Homo-oligomer: A and B are copies of this chain.
């Protein structure tokens, strides 16, 4: 069996910048059709109606194709959030302050969390679908990793020596505040207003960033 199962082609395992893997024409067509269909179902009948079968049928495509492209239901939800996610990443990585570079790190962190909450307000249910598949789905996503790395970097700027504690853990703690399930619960079950939630996160952020209490 030695060597019989290895990859022998020269194509890179991951896409390489400047030399992107070409997407076949039929695949591209289907990608558009699927996203269009999914968005239509979502708008017409809500998240609960967003089933893989339905999307496949509406896009006139086999279910297998849906799974090949998105992996699972969470992946589909994620893809629908992709535009929004991209814009968000751009905003916090290179946009205008206070979210983007230029503002003090504390302010950027606060702006980050506030922005995230606004996103949950508009797409909370879709976030929930994207995150709920498996217990750790949320954390495994590229979006989570990027957000976490961003927070860690900001924490490092304010607290290079790590006196405030474990930056990785702190980032997880901050991001736990913007869990889609928690948000929906606070908003719907508890009836919290957006303002109340934002005020709450501010208190937590201030507490964690070592500022004096009022």
Contact = CB atoms under 8 A, between A and B. Distances in A.
Number of copies: 2
A164 B203 CA distance: 8
B204 A163 contact: no
Given A166-B199, A172-B186, A213-B210, A139 B204 contact: no
A141 to B, nearest CB: 11
A180 B210 contact: no
A190 interface: yes
Nearest to A192: B169
Contact of A203 (B169, B190, B197): B169
Interface in A135-171: 135-140, 163-166, 168-170
A14 to B, nearest CB: 19
A58 interface: no
A56 interface: no
Top 9 closest A-B pairs, CB basis?
A: A169-B200, A128-B135, A165-B203, A176-B176, A139-B185, A207-B207, A135-B181, A136-B185, A207-B208
Looking at chain A's contact residues, is the secondary structure mostly helix, strand, loop, or mixed?
helix
Interface in A53-68: none
Contacts of A173: 176-177, 200, 204
A168 B186 CA distance: 10
A131 B179 CA distance: 13
A83 interface: no
A210 B207 contact: yes
Contact of A135 (B134, B163, B184, B214): B184
A168 B189 CA distance: 13
A45 B149 CA distance: 37
